[in-house]
Amino acid sequence: MSDSYDVVVIGAGPAGYPAAIRAAQNGLSVACIDAWKNFDGSRAFGGTCLNAGCIPSKALLESSELYHRASVEFASHGIGVGKLELDLAKMQARKAGIVKQLTGGIEALFKANGVTGLLGHGRLLPGNQVEYTPAEGDSQTLTGKHVVLATGSEPVELGIAPFDGEHIVDSWGALEFDAVPKRLGVIGGGVIGMELGSVWHRLGAEVVVLEALDDFLVFADQQIAKDAARQFKKQGLDVRLGARVTAATVADGEVTLAYEAGGESHPLVVDKVIVSVGRRPFSDGLLAEGTGVKLDERGFVKVDEECRTTAANVWAIGDLVRGPMLAHKGTEEGVMVADLIAGSSAEVNYKVIPSVIYTDPEIAWVGQTEEEVKASGRAYKTGTFPFAASGRAKAMEHAAGLVKVIAAEDDDEILGVHIVGPLAGELIGEAVVAMEFSASAEDLQHTIHAHPTLTEALHEAALAVDGRAIHSINR
Ligand code: FAD
Ligand code: AMP
């Protein structure tokens, strides 16, 4: 192993590992260090996303959705399945297998691209040096002409409900339950809380989500959020808004939560609690004295638009820096930085980063919400189309929800697209491409969509922007 590289990346999550691969593709010598440790002590590349986030959560969301659909939906297709059985151990093993395949895939990609993958801890020293402490063995000092910091984020812990790994768990713990809890409390009704609450609700837990804010999914378009809230309520997912948890007591194998709502304190007794009140940037043990890398008041590494930190030739990307905590945002930053280091021009279009919530209904959007456009003062028009009028959605028995397109009044440019309904996370891709190319609503109107597909709903919503939808009444 060499001790001198063009690029040393610290952190091999979805920000760090693509940065390493792209830098190697650009002909640079690269080492990528990662400290991830699984519950069983094994090590792996892939960070939160592959080991404890996006991938395992989506594996369980898929399995639990199939279980739920088999129990409540199959009958309407004329399919009787008798009594359903749940083998949670097998479901968990399937999830673990997917995670192992994908994390192993990163190792293979590192090898194929000539990246030196190092399992262990990295610490930035002054002068672009990195102290590497392997999982076993002595520390050594590496030098990088450039260093990329990509150490990600960690769950926020609530002082009033500290994690105990058994009754009060973080999102990772919630992906590892070996039995379906009878009563489950979720503190925080954001993206992660709603996804994990959904998994266990579909598998039979009585779930109560306690959200401090009065509005549901405040960061989403509120027309879409309200539609989603109605659908969750119909499914029996109990989301209590304006409910701030103030205390948690663990005794006799159960947790008693106290939450304030409507000016009164209420108790809630559950078997398990998931705390999902957000994530914070993780830079513990990362920066030695005198590196010149500055953090902002919230603990994010300070960077400019191109992810340069306050220290020369030190870059930072992903959840460790400002912007949405999303895997694909970090990936784009990693690739951009690797290209900039190699002398190419590159940028991230922060205005067109899609967001997806993988619940049922799925929720996805790109660009501005109607509330944001309104606040900006720009005149706009909207068009919506309900999945109830989509032949494909009907055939799928998934005809709830809608697509909403927001376009500028003056030049018709698409400012935002918001979807709640079947495969919203897949459908949003078309809107992302359209917005990347500054498409107008009219451009989408002229684009031919196959029939019958869910994509027709986006087409019709674009037509509705100008009161020209064919399959719904234009209002
Ligand atoms: P991370 O993935 O956190 O990776 C950082 C890596 O750096 C880790 O492996 C860590 O061990 C390592 N590290 C830290 N310090 C050091 C050090 N000093 N030396 C060496 N290594 C170090 N995002 C989406 O886009 N879509 C989703 O569906 C989605 N679902 C999610 C579900 C859950 C339950 C959670 C928790 C998150 C989800 N996210 C999702 C968010 C996503 O996981 C993060 O945005 C993403 O992982 C951030 O990537 P990153 O590379 O910046 O950091
Ligand atoms: P996110 O940042 O998207 O994961 O969402 C976290 C959510 O947790 C936010 O909507 C917060 O309002 C909510 N939250 C934070 N603290 C509490 C609390 N003590 N009780 C209930 N909800 C909380």
Residue 14 Cα to ligand 1 middle (Å) = 7
First to last CA, the chain: 67
Per the CB < 8 A criterion, the answer to whether 163 and 249 are in contact is no
Distance (Å, whole) CA 372 – CA 367: 9
Binned at pLDDT 50, 70 and 90, residue 475 comes out as confident
Asked whether residue 19 is assigned to any structural domain, the reply reads yes
Closest to 106 in 3D by CA, of 167, 182, 39, 43: 43
Same domain? 136 vs 192: no
Distance (Å, whole) CA 408 – CA 414: 6
pLDDT(289) > 90: yes
Q: Which domain holds residue 227?
A: 168-277
In the numeric block, the tokens 């191109």 are attached to: 306
Residue 152 Cα to ligand 1 middle (Å) = 5
Token pair recorded at residue 401: 């929800």
DSSP string, 188-225: --SHHHHHHHHHHHHTT-EEEEE-SSSSSSTTS-HHHH
Q: Quick one: which atom of ligand 2 is closest to the CA of 244? A: 20
pLDDT by residue (tens digit) across 382-423? 999 999 999 999 999 999 999 999 999 999 999 999 999 999
Look over the chain and give the mean of its residue pLDDT values, rounded to a whole number.
97
Handedness of CA 216, 218, 221, 223 (dihedral sign): positive
Predicted TM-score (pTM) above 0.85 = yes
pLDDT(155) > 80: yes
* pLDDT value for 390: 98
Ligand with the closest atom to the CA of 279: 2
Q: Is 451 helix (H, G, I), strand (E, B) or coil?
A: coil
pLDDT(1) > 90: no
How many domains, the chain? 3
pLDDT(77) > 90: yes
Ligand 2 pocket, residue 245 CB under 6 Å: yes
Asked whether residue 265 is assigned to any structural domain, the reply reads yes
Residue 13 Cα to ligand 1 middle (Å) = 5
Binned at pLDDT 50, 70 and 90, residue 83 comes out as very high
33-to-8, 83, 313, 318, 323 alpha-carbon distances in Å: 8, 49, 18, 15, 24
Same domain? 194 vs 66: no
Same domain? 144 vs 12: yes
Same domain? 234 vs 104: no
Average pLDDT over residues 259-287: 98
Distance (Å, whole) CA 341 – CA 147: 10
* pLDDT value for 2: 76
Q: Is 151 helix (H, G, I), strand (E, B) or coil?
A: coil
What's the CATH code of the domain at 399?
A: 3.30.390.30
pLDDT(275) > 90: yes
Q: What residues contact residue 105 under an 8 Å CB cut-off, 6+ apart? A: none
Same domain? 16 vs 95: yes
Same domain? 218 vs 130: no
pLDDT(99) > 80: yes
Same domain? 142 vs 287: yes
451 carries an active-site annotation: yes
Distance (Å, whole) CA 232 – CA 225: 10
Asked whether residue 475 is assigned to any structural domain, the reply reads no
Name the active-site residue from 167, 451, 459, 471: 451
Q: Quick one: which atom of ligand 2 is closest to the CA of 158? A: 19
